[in-house]
Every structure is written in C-alpha cells, then in structure tokens.
Chains A and B, each alone.
Chain A
C-alpha cells in the first residue's frame, strides 16, 4: 500500500474520495499499452474507451509488463490511479493481438482474462456511422447458454457487465436507451478449444408499429471484434466471497405487520391491547358520581365485606362481582 499523510485539505479530500464507500462510484478503466502493442490494439483500445468515457484513464507510454507472470506493476497502477479495471495490450507470435482484461479488488488483482482479436475485426472508424452521446448507459444482450454455465464465459459476462454498465440508477431516461452491447458465444464442445466470443455494438432505431410498443431495428455502429479466449485467472473463493459482500446497512428492512396478499393489495395487521370491560365508560349520570356514594350511612354489611375480601385476596377482575 502506498502510505501518504495528507499535508493540506485538498490532499485530504482527495484521499477521502479514494476510500471505500458503501455505495460505490463507477469503476474507472485504465488502458495500458504493452511494449509489444500494435496499431490495431491501440485503435481497439481507443474504441473500447469511447464506450467507457468519461470514466477512463489512458497511458500514452508503453509499459513492459507481463500480467500473468508478475502483476505487481498493474496493482501499483491500479492504486496510483484509483482504477479497478485495467485493459492491457500486447502482441507476439504466440499470442497475437491480445487484450488482457484485469479487474482489481482493493488494489489487488481480482481476475484476469486474455481476449485475442481475430482477423475479421472492424473498428468504429470503419463503420462511419453516427454514434451516440457520451456517457449513456448501454443495454446488454448475452446470447448463448454458455454465459450461465461455463465458468470462463461467466467471467466474460461479469467482466463486460462490470466494465460498461456505468452508473446504477433506479430511474432511466427512455431517450437514453440508444445503443446495445451484445456478446454471443456458441456451445462449448469437449476436446476442442473454447468457442469465440462475438462482440457487436448496435444503435437502436425505434419505429411506430401501430401498437403501443415500438418496433426496434438495429444498426451496427462498431466496433466489431471476434475474441478468442486465452489464458484466464479466476479469483480465489475467499477473495470472491469478500468482493461479493453486500453492505448490511443497505438491506431494506422488512416492516412488521405489513403484507401483500395474492391480489397485490397491501394488508396491515393492527394489534389492539386486551379490552377491559370493567373500565368501559358507560353513560354518565350525576347520581352515579362517587360523591353520591352512600357508604357512610345505610350501607349493606355483606356487600361491604365482600368488597373488602376481594382487595385482600388478590386483584381480581370485575367480572366476579357480576356473577354474585
């Protein structure tokens, strides 16, 4: 860990901003070129960062890092720049056009995956289509059952969702639904290499359909990448458990005695205390007031004794009196 003592208020505020929060900020992505990066990789990273703007940082200089051998420089960059998503580019004969997607948790490597761009790529600039506004929340489509079953593809799904989803919100502007990021993968066949992941981005066009819902057409805006999956590093179970923890403070408390029945109606239960009928207020009459009690003059002895006994024995409810 880099330890610093803030010397002034601004530095202190900056440090506080970096601290872990209950509700987290949008993850920032850091794009690092490897020493063997190519023109294509540079352009591909530019295109990917276009979708992630404004939460990006890009390094201009090349860095000689081998993520799967020694990831400590990446951890350092992650902490220094407060970025938890890193894209690292490298290209060599064995692993051509390779993008390594790295996620960090608490400035330590969480998981890594290598995605290699196949030959038939098409960049944003090749499409020459009108694109979308900056900083919009994208929609996602994941095609194929592998994204729910195979651990590597689950990793890919989680990575792309985490990477591009932007701010989580409970209110979404309908006009902001402008583009969709899609990933498609075929079935995994045993004995063969893992199937490619097809990364496509489309812009939405909606037309009136004559019905209430609009008819949607898609127009590809790029980039278009077919990824081959390379080396993968999964998080250890303990780290994963730690990273998936949900803060207790944010859990919604269930309110007692309020239920929703089968019809969707809200039903409340009200608990009233036991009613003591002896205390019941009956009709008020002047003659029944206590100052008109005839206890002093001609009072029935028997009744008097009984009432006395009752006090001595125990405090019995008034019902007993009525029985006698």
Chain B
C-alpha cells in the first residue's frame, strides 16, 4: 500500500521510547524528546506529524480495549453504539473539595451504641388496621395517630378523671400531645446540629 499511495501514513507507528498511556483520561504521554531544530524550521508541520503519530498510537490502544455494543432507540430508529470499556484513570489529579466527613452521631445514636441497642426491624410507615381491614399510615396523611380526631364520641382518659383536664375536649388534648412530640423532636434535632458543629 505504501508504494501505491506514498502520501498515506502507516497505521502502526514505531517510537524509540515506548509511549505511555492513561486510557482512563484518554491521554498519551510521549517521553521522546522534541526536536528543537524542527520546531524552529517547520513548526506546524512537525507538530501535526508528531501529534498524528501519537493519536494513531492511542486509537490503536483504545480500539484494542474490550468493546461492548448496545443498541439505542431514539425517535423510533434503532442505532447501534460501539462502547469501549476504559480502565480507571491513572494520573492523580487534585480533588475539588476535601473528602466528606462522616456524619456526627446524634445523641440517641451515641446512647444506642453505649447500650448496645440495635434497630430490630425496618421502621415502616404502614401498619395493618384490623378494624378497617386495610393498610394505613402510622402517621402523616390519615395517620393512625390521628384516629381520635374525627370520632363523634371519645371516652375521657382515666388519668384525667378528677383533674382540670376532665372537661377539655379529649380530641384537642390528643392533638396537643402530638404537637408537643413534634416540638420535642425539633428541639432534639436542633441540639444535635449544634453539637455537630
């Protein structure tokens, strides 16, 4: 081929010192010294030739990597993609930000470790309501903890009998209790955040 079309450059390139690759970054590092005399005389042509040889070497390397073909369908047309599996990058580059710090433990988590308490089962939001015969939320929208709110008749709690709370609507008492828990939890979150700083 080289005789018939001498202007064509060869597919294989020989270098005195073998070229290094970082295929994860698609990079080639040529340790062969650059000829200063060539740079002064015909710089652009020399640079173009030098780079062509190195790119040819890199393409040869890339195409010899394991190849995966997949089909992608866009706009009703199927087109096949040829993907090359690249190795991990080898050149060390600085990170943008420091490594993320592990999240500080909350007060409860510290206590649980100290006492050896483990989470037993997943904290599921749904529970089975025997009366309704269906799965309901434990809390939140139509939550089980709001059951009292829409009852037409509610018993007065035994512990409130004889106290000043006896005459207050038990529904609003239950609601107040719920709100108190939310407030307490928010306060705990705040304290944990403060301690984490």
Binds B, one of A91-99, A172-180, A262-270, A289-297: A172-180
- Is A277 close to B, CB under 8 A? no
Chain A contributes a number of interface residues (CB within 8 A of B) equal to 67
Q: B34 to nearest A CB, angstroms?
A: 5
**A243 B94 Cβ-Cβ under 8 A:** yes
In the docked arrangement, what's the CA distance between A169 and B94, Å? 17
Chain B residues, Cβ within 8 Å of A139: 26-28, 55, 58
In the docked arrangement, what's the CA distance between A140 and B92, Å? 15
Chain B residues, Cβ within 8 Å of A173: 81-84
**A204 B97 Cβ-Cβ under 8 A:** no
Contact of B100 among A22, A168, A175 (CB under 8 A): A22
**A242 B83 Cβ-Cβ under 8 A:** no
> What are 14 A-B residue pairs whose CB atoms fall within 8 Å in the complex?
A19-B100, A20-B96, A20-B98, A20-B100, A21-B100, A105-B97, A147-B29, A165-B27, A168-B24, A174-B84, A202-B51, A209-B11, A243-B95, A245-B95
Q: B11 to nearest A CB, angstroms?
A: 5
**Cβ proximity bits B60-99 to A, threshold 8 Å, 1 near / 0 not:** 1011000110000000000001111110110111111111
Given contacts A21-B100, A144-B30, A220-B48, contact A215 B84 (CB under 8 A): no
**B48 A106 Cβ-Cβ under 8 A:** no
- Is A77 close to B, CB under 8 A? no
Given contacts A21-B100, A244-B94, A247-B99, contact A213 B51 (CB under 8 A): no
Q: Interface residues, chain B, CB within 8 Å of chain A?
A: 1, 8-11, 24-34, 36, 39, 43-44, 47-48, 50-52, 54-56, 58-60, 62-63, 67-68, 81-86, 88-89, 91-100
**A216 B36 Cβ-Cβ under 8 A:** no
Q: Which of A145-181 contact B (CB under 8 A)?
A: 145, 147-148, 157-158, 161-162, 165, 168-175, 177, 180
In the docked arrangement, what's the CA distance between A145 and B26, Å? 18
In the docked arrangement, what's the CA distance between A142 and B32, Å? 10
Closest 6 CB pairs of A and B: A20-B97, A243-B94, A140-B27, A139-B26, A84-B96, A171-B83
**A143 B52 Cβ-Cβ under 8 A:** no
Closest Cβ neighbor of B39 among chain A residues: A186
Closest Cβ neighbor of B62 among chain A residues: A177
Q: B154 to nearest A CB, angstroms?
A: 36
- B26, B59, B85, B96: most-surrounded residue (chain A CB, <10 A): B96
Q: A229 to nearest B CB, angstroms?
A: 16
Q: Which of A213-255 contact B (CB under 8 A)?
A: 213-218, 220, 235, 240, 242-245, 247
- Is A309 close to B, CB under 8 A? no
Known A141-B30, A161-B27; further 10 A-B contacts with Cβ < 8 A: A138-B26, A143-B51, A171-B68, A182-B54, A202-B51, A213-B11, A215-B9, A217-B52, A218-B52, A243-B98
In the docked arrangement, what's the CA distance between A217 and B62, Å? 16
In the docked arrangement, what's the CA distance between A186 and B28, Å? 17
- Is A260 close to B, CB under 8 A? no
Given contacts A185-B34, A218-B48, contact A141 B100 (CB under 8 A): no
Closest Cβ neighbor of A252 among chain B residues: B88
Chain A residues, Cβ within 8 Å of B67: 174
Given contacts A158-B91, A177-B62, contact A172 B54 (CB under 8 A): no
**A158 B93 Cβ-Cβ under 8 A:** yes
Chain A residues, Cβ within 8 Å of B11: 209, 211, 213-215
In the docked arrangement, what's the CA distance between A247 and B95, Å? 11
In the docked arrangement, what's the CA distance between A74 and B113, Å? 44
Chain B residues, Cβ within 8 Å of A217: 9, 52
**A202 B95 Cβ-Cβ under 8 A:** no
Closest Cβ neighbor of A220 among chain B residues: B48
- Is A36 close to B, CB under 8 A? no
